[in-house]
Amino acid sequence: MKSNKTIILTTVFLIFIFNFFLRIYFANQIKGVSGGDAYNNLFIARHIVNGNNPFLEARRLPFYPLLLVPTQFFEVDPILYSRIIAALAGSLLSVVIFLFALSFKLNIFLSIVVAMLTGMSPTLFFVSVRPLSNSTFAFLIVTSVYLFYQNYKKKKFNKNYSLWFMLGLASMTRHEGFVIAFIFFIFLLLKAIKRKQIIKLIYSLIPFGILVLPFFINNYLNFGKLFYSDYLEYPEGLWMPKGWDEFIRNFNMLSEIPKYIWFSGTQFLSYGKILSFILIIGVFAWINDKKKLSIPLIFILLSQVVISFWYQPTIRYWLQIIPFASFLVVYLGFSLSKKYSLKIFVYPLFVLILFFQFKSLYIYMKGTVNQLNQGTRQEYLLRKALLDVSQNFEGKIGLPADYPQALYFLKNKGVYYTTRPPKIDSIEIQEKWIKDNSINYLLIPKEHDFLDIVRIKKFPIVKIFKEDNSEVVMYKVL
């Protein structure tokens, strides 16, 4: 028994190390950041440190930014730090789904296959090296499901403090966490009523209540309602269907997702289709074998599919589904092996699938990283310049536009000429802007070099940040 435990702990360690260092390898190759979410989370981390209301930005919840708080105390690249947090969560995700598979009697080999199918999913892998909250949320949800089943199988419905703590963190990471918490509550409530343990169930909700109470208080005080998200109030940027055509559009987009769960690229598409078909059969095998025990997981998966359909039918919002989809694929192999002694066929097949999946992942990551670096070269170079300038130069620094990274790094030292799109004004207007704001330096990205005053006045160049065809030039204002 002790030997078996040692093997499991060693396997857990190896799964984590393999996943984490592979992610760090690719994370170090990614330079730029697309979109503003990474900086929005860092701004919330700053709100937390400064004692301000972290719910001021209603679209994003504070737990993931809370993990970024160390960036406010140490001189580190906050984007790289955010990537490491995401990579850590993505690696732990593989560990938890490995333990989940073991808890349903899959042997160590098959449980490793589940962990690898999860960890090597191209989409999950890529998102877990981006400075976003998605992989952290997926880790919290999968851990919550694991904890739920640990107690549910043993018919322990009144001592779920760790479960509700994890659900509280998940709900304070992404709003979808509330849906999963509600589903678990309904299942546990039905059992508690049957066993006359409602009061004990309510006590177990205390960790969840403590974690989410500030969210509800803020909503009531600022918006007059307990549950508020401006995603729901102002959904123009989402894919919410407003008519039959859009309903069909979302359905078509959603139906394409399963074949991309484990593979990416046209050369691997047939493998993705096969695994999608196996997944469907695996769901029925799971329901047939586990009967009532299967129902909570099915409800969880369906809830996330519906949310994705209604909110944004892209695979990025399936990260918390991918681990359980991997489990159900392998569970079918486990079920067939147990009933028909097919190990000699099933096990080599899984090894072959993992080989092709790793090949698909490597090709996908190489291409995606190169594409991302090309598209975000200017962002990376400007961030590099801002890190240097914010630490080594005093005085007001002027920039052509209010770039999110400039707002973050320069704080009150930054002065911005115009919001996007850039406008071209006379030299007199530019000179007045510099004088009125007591600007000491100008930091000009090549792509937004529309401040002609630096050339006409012949401001001296202090420093040039350059990479490939992009550059950011720092001028001293005379």
The verdict on pTM exceeding 0.85 is yes
CA distances, 238 to each of 26, 56, 221, 311, 342 (Å): 30, 21, 26, 6, 46
The SS3 call for residue 477 is coil
Higher pLDDT, 341 or 54: 54
pLDDT band at 422 (very low <50, low <70, confident <90, very high): low
- Tens digit of pLDDT for each residue in 176-234? 999 999 999 999 998 888 888 888 888 999 999 999 999 999 989 888 888 877 766 66
Q: How confident is the model at residue 341 (pLDDT cuts 50, 70, 90)?
A: confident
Q: What percentage of the chain has pLDDT greater than the value 90?
A: 52
Burial of 214 (0-12, 13-18, 19+ CB in 10 A): middle
Give the pLDDT score at 162.
Answer: 94
State the average pLDDT for the chain.
89
Q: What is the pLDDT of residue 23?
A: 97
- Please tell me the least confidently modeled range out of 31-35, 395-399, 423-427: 423-427
pLDDT at 444: 86
Beta strands 461-467 and 470-476: pairing type? antiparallel
Q: Which of 99-113, 255-269, 367-381 has the highest mean pLDDT?
A: 99-113
What is the arithmetic mean of pLDDT over 61-73? 95
What is the per-residue DSSP string for 162-202? HHHHHHHHHHTT-THHHHHHHHHHHHHHHHHHHHT-HHHHH
**Ranked by mean pLDDT, which of 53-57, 169-173, 260-264, 274-278 comes out on top?**
169-173
For residue 365, the model assigns a pLDDT of 94
Q: How many residues does the chain have?
A: 478
Mean pLDDT of 104-131: 95
Alpha helices (runs of H) in 257-396, residue ranges in sequence order:
269-290, 295-311, 322-340, 343-375, 377-392
Cα(19)–Cα(232) distance, integer angstroms:
35
pLDDT of residue 287: 95
Q: Are 192 and 201 in contact (CB under 8 A)?
A: yes
Give how far the C-alpha of residue 398 lies from the chain's centroid of Cα atoms, to the nearest Å: 33
Over residues 136-158, mean pLDDT: 88
pLDDT value at position 1? 53
